[in-house]
């Protein structure tokens, strides 16, 4: 049975902390390096519901994509919901490790997992990592479809392949336009519009697209159609949990650790319902 320090070293080999953005908060948040690890749970969000799941599972380590304390804190008092998470973890001897932007740009990383879920062939990073001589690491991915599809059909594929959420898949653009090349980026992606334009793709699938950036983007592309597909943030990043679990499974087998690795299927997307349209305002 490996120690936590050994498992963390394996995770760091996949997603080195030094490759995270300067503003990010990655790495081990809670845990004794000398504790034994036999069961690991992967999830997107380090929220109480997921921590309670880790307790029920008798997990020794919880690995999440999103940080618990992204902007730092001065307290871990249990009177605050993040403090309760820390208290629950420590009381139950569960370590917490975070891989965020260092997992976004990894090879393979978050966007590779998203592309895989959508049955896309990855061609290259959308924003290459200048420090990577192989040209394989970076933010987002430029992908190809094996067979071109109308935007409408590709949106249906995304709705079927990604975990179901209240939002579903929103589309901006001609639903009948043919899609051959697609850029994808797990998580918030409207900061990447310049790179998407430069990539010359037919569509861009990401999350958290805002009204004004989308309206301006579509107006600028009026004579060269390019569709935007907006999925739920959580749904675009959840496929990474399965990829990451498989990577750790492989390391466990290679080292003879016999870890039991699990992926949470608890939906932690904050939106819980979607009301049908009741018509345009008068």
- Helix H, strand E, coil C: the string for 197-213 is HHHCCCEEEEECCCHHH
- pLDDT tens profile 215-227: 999 888 766 789 9
> Residue 281: what pLDDT?
59
- Say which range, 140-144, 180-184, 213-217, 262-266, has the weakest mean pLDDT: 213-217
Contact predicate 199/180, CB 8 Å: no
Mean pLDDT in residue range 123-127: 98
Domain range 4-101+237-262, CATH class: alpha beta
> Residue 225: what pLDDT?
80
CATH architecture classification, 105-231: 3-Layer(aba) Sandwich (3.40)
Residues 6+ apart with CB under 8 A from 229: 151, 154, 155, 158, 169, 170, 171, 203, 204, 205, 206
All CATH 3.40.1390.30 domain ranges in the chain, comma separated: 4-101+237-262, 105-231
Confidence of residue 282 (pLDDT cuts 50, 70, 90): low
Angle at 23 between CA 21 and CA 28, to 5 degrees: 80
Give percent of the chain with pLDDT exceeding 90. 92
Query: Residue 15: pLDDT above 70?
Result: yes
Confidence of residue 188 (pLDDT cuts 50, 70, 90): very high
């Amino acid at each position: 049975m490996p120690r936590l320090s050994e498992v963390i070293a394996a995770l760091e080999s996949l997603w080195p902390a030094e490759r995270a953005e300067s503003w990010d908060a990655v790495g081990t948040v809670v845990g004794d390096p000398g504790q034994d690890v036999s069961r690991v749970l992967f999830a997107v969000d380090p929220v109480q519901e997921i921590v309670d799941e880790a307790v029920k599972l008798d997990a020794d380590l919880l690995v999440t994509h999103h940080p618990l304390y992204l902007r730092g804190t001065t307290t871990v008092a249990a009177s605050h919901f993040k403090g309760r998470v820390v208290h629950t973890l420590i009381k139950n001897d569960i370590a917490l490790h975070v891989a965020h932007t260092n997992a976004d740009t990894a090879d393979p990383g978050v966007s590779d997992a998203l592309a895989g879920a959508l049955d896309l062939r990855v061609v290259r990073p959308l924003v290459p990592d200048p420090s990577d001589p192989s040209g394989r690491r970076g933010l987002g991915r430029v992908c190809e479809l094996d067979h071109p599809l109308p935007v409408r059909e590709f949106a249906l594929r995304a709705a079927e392949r990604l975990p179901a959420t209240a939002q579903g898949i929103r589309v901006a653009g001609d639903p009948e336009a043919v899609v051959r090349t697609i850029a994808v980026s797990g998580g918030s992606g409207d900061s990447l519009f310049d790179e998407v334009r430069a990539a010359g793709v037919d569509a861009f699938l990401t999350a958290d697209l805002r009204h004004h950036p989308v309206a301006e983007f579509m107006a600028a592309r009026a004579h060269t159609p390019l569709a935007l597909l907006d999925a739920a943030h959580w749904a675009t990043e959840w496929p990474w949990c399965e990829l990451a679990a498989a990577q750790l499974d492989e390391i466990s087998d290679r080292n003879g650790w016999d870890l039991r690795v699990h992926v949470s299927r608890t939906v932690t997307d904050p939106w819980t319902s979607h009301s049908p349209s009741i018509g345009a305002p008068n």
